[in-house]
Amino acid sequence: MNLFDLGITCDLDILRNPILRGARNYLPDSLWALALLHILTSLWKPKQIGGCISLVSLYLVFTMSIELGQLYRLIPGTFDIYDELVYATMGLCYLLISISKKTKLTNRRRKTNEN
C-alpha cells in the first residue's frame, strides 16, 4: 500500500527543478558526511590548523574507500562520483570554517596580548 492507493496525490512539479532534485538526492549524503565529520571532530578535537587538515584527509580517505569499495563490489551499494564530490565539498567547508575560526581566535589573542 502506498500514498497513491489511498487516493492522496501530491504536486511533483517541485521535483522537476534540477537544484531541488539535486538537493533531494544528495541531502542524505551531505548529512551522513557532516555526521562523520562531527564524530571525528568529537573524538580527535584538533587544536591547530594542521590537525584540521589531517582530520579532513582521514575523512576523505575513509569516504573514498567506501565509494571505491562500492565500485569494485566489495561493499554493497552503488558507486556515484557525485557522492564523492559531496563528501569533498563537506570536508572543504569544514576545513574553511575551522581555519577561519582558528585564525580569528589567534588574531583576538594577539590583540589582547598587545594591549
- Domain membership flag for residue 100: yes
pTM of structure: 0.70
Amino acid letter for position 34: L
| Inter-residue contact 34 to 88 (CB < 8 Å) | no
CB proximity list for 31: less than 8 A, separation 6 or greater: none
The residue segments making up the domain with residue 102 are 13-114
Q: 53 φ, ψ to 5°?
A: -65, -40
More confident residue, 53 or 110: 53
d(CA 4, CA 12): 13
Q: Is the pLDDT of residue 3 over 60?
A: no
- Domain membership flag for residue 104: yes
Dihedral angle sign, alpha carbons of residues 66, 88, 84, 13: positive
3-state secondary structure of 87: helix
- Helix (H) or strand (E) segment spanning residue 84: helix 81-114
d(CA 103, CA 84): 28
How many domains does the chain fold into? Answer: 1
- Domain membership flag for residue 18: yes
**pLDDT tens digits along 8-64:** 555 555 567 777 777 778 888 888 888 988 898 889 888 888 888 999 999 999 999
